[in-house]
Amino acid sequence: MNGLCRSLCLILLVAAGLAGCGQAERGKARVWVTRDRGATALEQGSVPGGLTALQGLYRVAQVETGYGGAFVTKIDGVASSRLHQRDWFFFVNGYEADRGAASYRLRGGDVEWWDYRSWSGSERVPVVAGAFPEPFLHGYDGKPRAAAVRFGRGLRAEAKALARVVRARSLAPIGRPVAPAANLLVVLAGRPGLVARLRSGEKAGDPVRFAVSGRSFARELARDPALVRQRYQVAEWSGS
């Protein structure tokens, strides 16, 4: 009887683990395909969580691969070109991916973004702003981080509204300590814009620092995060 109980407990534990994995993969992920740092949108759609990023891309676009299927060489007829130094770059929740699309498993809420651009003379772009409010909500590889918001003088109301968007529990004036592992959103005065960078580390999933500047822009962004959709950075907001 004890042996039977142990067996039943083991079965229940395995089932619970499988259910947890299934929950992580439920929901929809979004797939975007653009050109020139998001200047031109080519494709977009939603796909089920649980697919690989490559499978998700196949759902919304015509795709060709090389190197045994591990490397995307062409999307919708637009091909990588060593001669012209242009290639497809792949982001998940704003992070430049650290693995091939066939190896990344999408979760519900993920934003998979492919952008075709020149790599001539350009530095690596480890994180971009245009998937905001990602990666604050879903992180990378299913591992979200705690979020903190800090604000300049007179910007508490705007910071509070943005804290709701990024689900931050820590809201305080600039100068208040922030946990080293937290993603940070800073609300500042100045020319309107949104700039993203890694706060520390150098790989996908490391903490980020997003800086939102301009009172009116911060209010607009809190009302509609899609304002910055598919933009690498927003150095100065023009209202369009």
Higher pLDDT, 165 or 12: 165
The secondary structure of 140-151 as a DSSP string is BTTB---EEEEE
Higher pLDDT, 3 or 220: 220
Helix, strand, coil shares, percent, the chain, to 5: 25, 35, 45
Is residue 30 within a helix (H) or strand (E), and if so which, with residue range? strand 28-35
Contact 56, 43 (CB under 8 A): no
Under the banding of pLDDT at 50, 70 and 90, the label for residue 236 is: low
Query: Which two structure tokens, joined as six digits, stand for 79?
Result: 């091909």
Q: Does 18 score more than 80 pLDDT?
A: no
Q: Is 24 helix (H, G, I), strand (E, B) or coil?
A: helix
pLDDT in tens, 41-85: 999 999 999 999 999 999 999 999 987 777 899 999 999 998 889
Residue count of the chain:
240
Angle at 185 between CA 191 and CA 164, to 5 degrees: 110
For residue 234, count other CB atoms closer than 10 A to its CB.
21
Is residue 113 within a helix (H) or strand (E), and if so which, with residue range? strand 111-118
Encoded amino acid at 122, one letter: S
Q: Collect all residues with Cβ–Cβ distance below 8 Å to 45 and sequence separation of at least 6.
A: 30, 31, 59, 60
What is the rounded average pLDDT for all residues in the chain? 88
- Cα 104 to the chain's mean position, in Å? 13
pLDDT in tens, 116-172: 999 877 678 999 999 999 999 999 999 999 999 999 999 999 999 999 999 999 999
Contact 151, 173 (CB under 8 A): yes
Contact 163, 137 (CB under 8 A): no
pLDDT at 120: 79
pLDDT at 21: 45
Q: Does 15 score more than 50 pLDDT?
A: no
